[in-house]
């Protein structure tokens, strides 16, 4: 390769020596000379301090108009393809045309005219947002931990209806209901929700008593604050929907907290004693009512039994009287036998004497205990 290159160099030097020197260009023709150099496919290359020309190489490249047209076409295709966008689940696509609202699209792939004709915003409409009033959580924790929050007394201090001061710390959960109103009607939505929630809670607390706010009225306060806050946001056309207002901590100022704790403890003791008394009453009264009902039922049963027995005896006596009038001797003998039958049936011990024995001796029958046998008669025990 070195020998070929040296041989080629020698051949070119001989050609340059035999060729006449070109005339020097005038200054007036300098522009024409530059144009001629630009049209050459390859410019002169200086190598080793000498000027080398390659006149025998072929010309390369395309016409300048085709290159510009092809580049413009590629840029146009890329610009048109940039209008393809995807709306993720839980988002809503809001399309603006020249800065004016045009349409809203749901999740999935869509196409919009590229910028600057159309612009697409994709707010998350299913995400639950959270705003804190009266305190700030440490980090991004979504749970209220009393020892790890920073209280904001300027927001938490509120005046109750009975002119007492109470510190209220609560949170508001909300989401985007109308993405168009959310994007174009409000600025800094979190600050707006916090201010509106504070105003609503102050009004509700101002209409409540401190005892209700601290003890058993929290649920009603949360419901009233939720409705009032939603009405405020609707009047502002914010496009937000309140999910819940949750009271995290409601307590009096630190200076009087101990006294309020004593009052609350006494109130709890009162409620506890009342509940115990109610439980005792609820246990005693049904038992007394049951015993009274049992006695009443027994009395009614005894009454019915006596009445029925009396009616039966009266009916029996009437029947016997009618039969006695028909056959007095027979009825009297029958009654005598029935009476003896009843007496003998119910007697535990019986002593039988013949007809002549009672005439000779005086029969002595003990009133209690077993009867000893006698020679005067026979004793039969059953």
What is the pLDDT confidence band of residue 1, given thresholds at 50, 70 and 90?
A: very low
Residue 280 to residues 112, 200, 291: CA-CA distances in angstroms? 75, 44, 17
pLDDT digits (tens, 9 = 90+) for 166-191: 899 999 999 999 999 999 988 889 99
* Residue 163 near residue 213 (C-beta atoms within 8 A): no
Tell whether the torsion through CA atoms of 55, 56, 57 and 63 is positive or negative. positive
DSSP string, 206-261: HTS-HHHHHTT-HHHHHHHHHHHHHHHHHHHT--EEEEEEEEEEEE--GGGHHHHH
pLDDT digits (tens, 9 = 90+) for 337-368: 888 888 878 777 777 767 676 676 666 666 56
Q: What is the pLDDT of residue 377?
A: 43
pLDDT digits (tens, 9 = 90+) for 209-231: 888 888 788 899 999 999 999 99
* Residue 125 near residue 176 (C-beta atoms within 8 A): yes
Q: Return the domain boundaries, the chain.
A: 129-135+150-252, 348-382
Q: What is the pLDDT of residue 319?
A: 84
pLDDT digits (tens, 9 = 90+) for 128-150: 999 999 888 876 556 666 667 88
- Domain spanning 129-135+150-252, CATH class: alpha beta
């Amino acid at each position: 390769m070195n020998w070929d290159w040296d041989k080629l160099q020698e051949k070119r030097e001989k050609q340059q020596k035999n060729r006449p020197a070109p005339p020097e260009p005038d200054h007036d023709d300098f522009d024409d000379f530059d144009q001629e150099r630009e049209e050459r496919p390859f410019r002169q290359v200086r190598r080793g301090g000498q000027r080398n020309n390659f006149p025998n190489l072929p010309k390369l490249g395309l016409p300048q108009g085709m290159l510009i047209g092809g580049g413009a076409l590629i840029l146009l295709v890329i610009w048109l393809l940039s209008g393809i966008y995807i709306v993720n689940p839980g988002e809503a696509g809001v399309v603006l045309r020249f800065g004016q609202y045009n349409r809203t699209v749901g999740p999935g792939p869509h196409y919009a005219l590229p910028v600057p004709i159309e612009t697409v915003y994709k707010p998350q409409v299913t995400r639950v947002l959270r705003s804190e009033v009266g305190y700030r959580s440490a980090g991004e924790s979504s749970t209220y931990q009393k020892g790890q929050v920073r209280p904001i007394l300027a927001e938490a201090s509120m005046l109750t209806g009975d002119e007492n001061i109470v510190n209220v710390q609560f949170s508001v959960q909300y989401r985007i209901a109308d993405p168009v109103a959310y994007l174009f009607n409000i600025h800094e939505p979190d600050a707006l929700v916090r201010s509106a929630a504070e105003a609503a809670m102050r009004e509700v607390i101002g209409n409540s008593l401190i005892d209700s706010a601290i003890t058993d009225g929290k649920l009603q306060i949360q419901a009233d604050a939720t409705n009032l806050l939603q009405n405020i946001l609707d009047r502002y056309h914010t496009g937000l929907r309140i999910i819940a207002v949750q009271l995290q901590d409601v307590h009096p100022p630190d200076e009087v907290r101990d006294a309020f704790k004593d009052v609350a403890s006494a109130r709890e003791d009162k409620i506890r004693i009342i509940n115990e008394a109610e439980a005792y009453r609820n246990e005693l009264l049904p038992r007394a009512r049951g015993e009274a009902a049992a006695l009443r039922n027994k009395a009614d049963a005894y009454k019915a039994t006596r009445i029925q027995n009396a009616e039966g005896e009266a009916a029996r006596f009437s029947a016997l009287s009618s039969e006695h009038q028909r056959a007095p001797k027979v009825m009297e003998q029958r009654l005598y036998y029935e009476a003896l039958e009843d007496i003998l049936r119910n007697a535990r011990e019986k002593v039988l004497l013949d007809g002549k024995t009672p005439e000779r001796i005086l029969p002595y029958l003990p009133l209690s205990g077993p009867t000893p046998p006698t020679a005067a008669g026979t004793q039969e025990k059953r």
